[in-house]
Structure 1
Amino acid sequence: MEAILYICHGSRVKEASAQAIDFIKVCMKSQSNEIQEYCFLELEAPSIEEAYERCIRQGATSIVAIPLLLLTAAHAKHDIPIILDKMKRQYPAVTLKYGRPIGVSDEMVDILMERLEETNEKVTEDSLILLVGRGSSDPDVKRDLGQLADLLRNRLPKSQVQECYLTAAKPSYVEALEMADESQANKVFIIPYLLFTGILMQSIQNGLQKVGDSNGRKIILCNYLGYHPKIERVLKERIHELNGEEAYVSNYA
């Protein structure tokens, strides 16, 4: 019997963890697997180990592990696989398949466009759009967010789009805000490329409080991604990609 194990990041902000659980519960309804569990990499329960064993106690002979992560970084390539490798050694009779993160796609850019549109502020050729990612020392993160920014530029050819990062990569969010303040843009749209609320979303909001509207320029903070049917469809694709796959790939590098 095949189980699906959804792996979320985890957050110190309870609302963020609750949003992740609600998201996964919606996704579970669209899957026919009798055994489905969610878990967190850190900061929240149940842990990956606990949920893995819960699947086995319910009779799982095969586990499909799906990371609910936006981009392919250290968590997806190393931290989660280390734990899954340990569980695979502990339960060698149980087949394990590990899926890809959400990644880069036109569907994700569709959601970014929606987040811009729902502000009810018109994006013009004098607008600057800051796409704010989590950030990582892993170069794949810069590559992926850069690709998303390129796709967004294709949708908005008359506007300037700049990606930036909250941690561990350049340009930083603070640097991007400073560049925006020196630019000729009459509107600055800030799109948090985050699945849920949390500490990072609070960092974005705090940065805006320090800057505020200046020089007659309007700064508009868009909503983070949140639940969206298109993200749910991507997760379904990640599950279906593993059909027929026998190998467990523990490293994307």
Structure 2
Amino acid sequence: MTTPLIAAAVPPMIVVAHGSRDPRSARAVAAAVAAIRGARPDLDVRLCFLDLSAPSVDQVVDAVAAEGHSSAVVVPLLLGSAFHARVDLPGLLAAARRRHPGLDLVQADVLGDDDRLVSAVRDRVRDAGVALDDPRVGVVLAAVGSSRPDANERTAAIGPRLHAGTAWAGVEVCFATTDPTVAQAISRLRERGARSIVVAPWFLAPGLLTDRVDRAVEALAADAERADVIGDHPLLVEVVLDRYRAGLRTLAADRAAA
């Protein structure tokens, strides 16, 4: 069977998520990608995973090449520039370029700590029924954590930004895999006068680590409120599309320089 030639001038977006053994994670990521497709129905958006979920990066890139595309923008659906963004994904894309020398692949920036994502987390807290002007509220911003202190420092800096524009007693950042812990964050909030604890995940999707955080919170503050993950929030969609557009500019610049 002959593969049809691709006439579309707009390069596909390949969204690369982390992957998880927890099926809730894949469902949340799929919902976010569906929201991206809804915002840009003209755009070919493909989802793949780095690990533990299917399809893989190799499978999706190979399919894009087989369909005759000459370029694609790869957008990491990752909050931090850790191993997966700095080493793992670039290595996979370098191997893909060797397999498909006629396919230009540009890796866009990670989502990072974009202000819009901080606003999305604030919205998730408000969606949980928490008033922004309630001074009794203390928010635990729970993130993954990294072996790199500088990465944890950048994440810790999100706390004051989430607190801005609210009357909350405070926002304390904790990590699922390193210090400060959930217990430390809750203790600090109570010292600052918080009487109501709210957990706000700095996670795109639920999974084993968000469950770990929830168990720790349950043991210390059983009546704590839980905000949802960022998920398919419209501001996430905006950030992803901005990363794609930046990737298109890089493609154009690379071709102009060639």
Q: TM-score, normalised by structure 2?
A: 0.84
Paired residue for 2:154, among 139, 144, 154?
Answer: 144
Is structure 2 residue 144 aligned with structure 1 residue 134?
Answer: yes
Distance 1:115 1:121 in 2: 9
Paired residue for 2:93, among 76, 84, 88?
Answer: 84
Gaps of 5+ in 2: 1-8
Distance 1:85 1:130, change over 3 A: same
Distance 1:122 1:18 in 2: 29
Q: What letter is aligned with 1:97? A: V
Distance 1:157 1:121 in 2: 11
Distance 1:18 1:118 in 2: 20
Post-superposition Cα deviations, 1:125-180, rounded to whole Å, max 9, x if no partner, equal: 3432111111111345324322321212322365211111111x321234324545
Distance 2:246 2:65 in 1: 22
Query: Contact 1:103 / 1:144 at 8 angstroms: preserved in 2?
Result: no
- State the secondary structure of the residue aligned to 2:125: helix
TM-superposed CA distance for 1:3, in Å, is 2.2
Name the structure 2 match of 1:27: 36
Alignment of 1:69-148 (within 5 A): 69-122=78-131, 124-148=134-158
Distance 1:42 1:170 in 2: 26
Distance 1:206 1:156 in 2: 27
Distance 1:219 1:36 in 2: 38
Query: Contact 1:74 / 1:138 at 8 angstroms: preserved in 2?
Result: no
Name the structure 1 match of 2:249: 244
Distance 1:141 1:11, change over 3 A: same
* Length, aligned pairs only: 242
Distance 1:36 1:212, change over 3 A: closer
Is structure 2 residue 202 aligned with structure 1 residue 193?
Answer: yes
Q: TM-score, normalised by structure 1?
A: 0.86
Distance 1:200 1:135 in 2: 10
Paired residue for 1:226, among 231, 234, 249?
Answer: 231
Distance 1:225 1:148 in 2: 14
- State the secondary structure of the residue aligned to 1:156: coil
Post-superposition Cα deviations, 1:191-234, rounded to whole Å, max 9, x if no partner, equal: 11111111112112211222234xxxx52222221211111011
Gaps of 5+ in 1: 249-253
